[in-house]
Copies of this chain bind each other. A is one copy, B any other.
Amino acid sequence: MTPEQRFADLGLILPPAPKAVAVYKTLLIDGRHCYVSGHGPYMADGTLIKGKVGVDLHAEEAQAAALQTGLAILATLKHGLGSLNRVKRVIKILGMVNAVPEYENHPYVINGCSELFAKVWGVENGVGVRSAVGMGSLPNNIPVEIEALFELE
């Protein structure tokens, strides 16, 4: 099974590939590496999930937002690379949670993205290193922002 086939089997819907809203590229290829900018939780209709984790969103809602963020990253990869099959493996993600100061469950939240990548590229290649941490604030008050580094085939 290819990553594209594995993704199709999940029955999930990609949001539109996010456009850059400021002075950055959403994706940059550097040799066999593909860097992806910080992405937010886009729904299939192109709107953003908003709110602070621990007050506006509970853990399950935040994990669902991290899944949507992962889907937005997949949309950017497909748009920029043509196919998810061009990605060999996940090297690194930085999972940033917009949470109240006493929040403690960032790893659970970011698993929403990590489990998606593990399904698309498999447990060995879809799981890389990671930090899952709490920010003081995020653009547009989104609950989750994730940046990533992939290795290309």
Contact, CB under 8 Å: B136 / A134? yes
Binding site for B on A (CB under 8 A): 21-28, 30, 35-38, 52, 91-94, 96-108, 110-111, 114-115, 118, 127-141, 145, 147, 151
Contact, CB under 8 Å: A101 / B139? no
Contact, CB under 8 Å: B128 / A147? no
List the 4 closest A-B pairs by CB distance, nearest first: A38-B131, A134-B137, A24-B130, A23-B114
Contact, CB under 8 Å: A151 / B30? yes
A126 CB → nearest B CB, Å: 9
Cβ contacts A to B, 22 pairs, < 8 Å: A22-B130, A23-B118, A25-B128, A27-B129, A28-B92, A28-B128, A28-B129, A30-B151, A36-B129, A37-B129, A52-B101, A94-B147, A96-B131, A98-B136, A99-B137, A100-B136, A100-B137, A102-B137, A104-B139, A106-B137, A133-B145, A135-B136
